[in-house]
Amino acid sequence: MALTTGFSLPRFHWRRGKQAWDRHTWLYVSVIIAVVLGAVVGLVWPEVGRGFEPLGTGFVALIKMMIAPIIFCTIVVGVGSIAKAATVGKIGGLALLYFMVMSTFALAIGLIVGNIIHPGSGLDMANASYQTETTEATTTQEFLLGIIPATFFSAFTGESVLQVLFIALLTGFALQGLGERGAPIMEAVKQLQKLVFRILGMILWLAPIGAFGAIAAVVGKTGVAAIWSLGILMVAFYITCIVFILVVLGTLLWAVTRVNILSLMKYLAREYLLIVGTSSSESALPRLIAKMEHIGVSKPVVGITVPTGYSFNLDGTAIYLTMASLFIATGMGQPMSIGEQIGLLVFMIIASKGAAGVTGAGLATLAGGLQAYRPDLVDGVGVIVGIDRFMSEGRALTNFTGNAVATLLIGTWTRQIDRDRVRRVLSGELPFDESRLDGVDAHAAPHPQATDVQGLHEAAVTAMSAKEERARNRALGG
């Protein structure tokens, strides 16, 4: 393609990737062992298992402690990402619209499946001794007025997550209005976000202990039915993700581009193996950008769509959030009403943005959504921790596939795709050169050392904006 932006992807540091892999593998295995031990203790010594319940409750309390700063930082950064993507015109606007529609659709699918299979039925996850007293609004007027905090900072010390969400949205839009003057503040928020997620990462190292206590307690109370219910949730989640990829994404991809979803997945097979090994779609981000450029999508479309999608197009995470919420509500014997489910869906749409690729962000968003609409259900997150690792691969693979499909769709809608090259690449006539991260492009610029999704996105936006500025100058004779 002749159209370029000067934007290129960073080199993948294999030593750093191996270290991350080793850390993930250790934690992953530890959680599996903890879940198995907890189930054994709960089945063999029910009374002892129930005695370990405070371990799970304490772990959830640590997660709850981080909800307010996580929601604030992710929303402010997410709103800033919307502003940056909107500056690139048709590509960014179309991508954002598509991502919002698809993530909402994925959340709705999770709710529909959850209401059909009723995951968590028959469990006894209630823990009256650790419930907190909450004053719920009885009218719409009280609910709306309750979103407004008494002071700007009181939102961060209270129990209402919706107040934090309200303050975060005001801050994000205010920073948008400040333009370049707000850039230092936005950078400060990003640095705060790194600190917050660093703390969350430290807390997640206690996940094996929390998972052991929660699983031992629920199995001790319910018996083998608890293991059966957890298994049903995992199987249902994976089936839902598979159906979403093959039916929803596959149909949309074929209707718009005439590309078979299975052919695309075969082309991305190595990336899928990398994702399964790390349980994170971010590990395959550089390779996805390279392969989308190699397949024939223009650099501007790839440079804007892929990084933006990693923040806004998390289909697998969306399905997980709603199904896990319904599982917890049913398992604690307090199912959500349709109104509460819709409110939770709206909250998840907003709160899930801006935390791309961050370990534990999905768990924190789940806890935040429950804290906002049903604080009495947050303690149930401890049980989800036990199986969260088993479902992380499904989330990551679905997110990754959704972003690959989105890139081809946006490229087709904006007419910045070489259809003949797509056919030749997928048929094997033009194989991807695995010896070079940037494929067969001999004219690629040196790679900037960007280290995260947000950095990639900003590099793409800057390059695209500079190109548009040069085009305007040429048009004006400058």
Give 274-295 pLDDT, tens digit per residue: 787 666 677 688 889 889 989 9
Q: How far is Cα 385 from Cα 183, in angstroms, rounded to an integer?
A: 37
- Name which residue leads in pLDDT, 104 or 382: 104
pTM of the model as a whole:
0.72
Q: Within a 13 Å sphere around the CA of 309, how many CA atoms are in the beta-carbon half?
A: 32
Q: How far is Cα 456 from Cα 282, in angstroms, rounded to an integer?
A: 12
Q: How far is Cα 328 from Cα 379, in angstroms, rounded to an integer?
A: 9
Give 14's contacts (C-beta < 8 A, 6+ positions apart): none
Is 100's pLDDT higher than 80? yes
In three-state secondary structure terms, 296 is: coil
Q: How far is Cα 127 from Cα 61, in angstroms, rounded to an integer?
A: 13
Q: Within a 13 Å sphere around the CA of 374, how many CA atoms are in the beta-carbon half?
A: 26
Tokens of 273: 């193996």
Give 35-72 pLDDT, tens digit per residue: 889 889 988 888 888 888 888 888 888 888 887 888 88
- Name which residue leads in pLDDT, 290 or 78: 290
Q: How far is Cα 292 from Cα 287, in angstroms, rounded to an integer?
A: 8
pLDDT of 432: 85
The mean pLDDT of 68-82, rounded to a whole number, is 78
Q: How far is Cα 437 from Cα 409, in angstroms, rounded to an integer?
A: 23
Strand partners, 417: 297
Give 109's contacts (C-beta < 8 A, 6+ positions apart): 240, 244, 248, 319
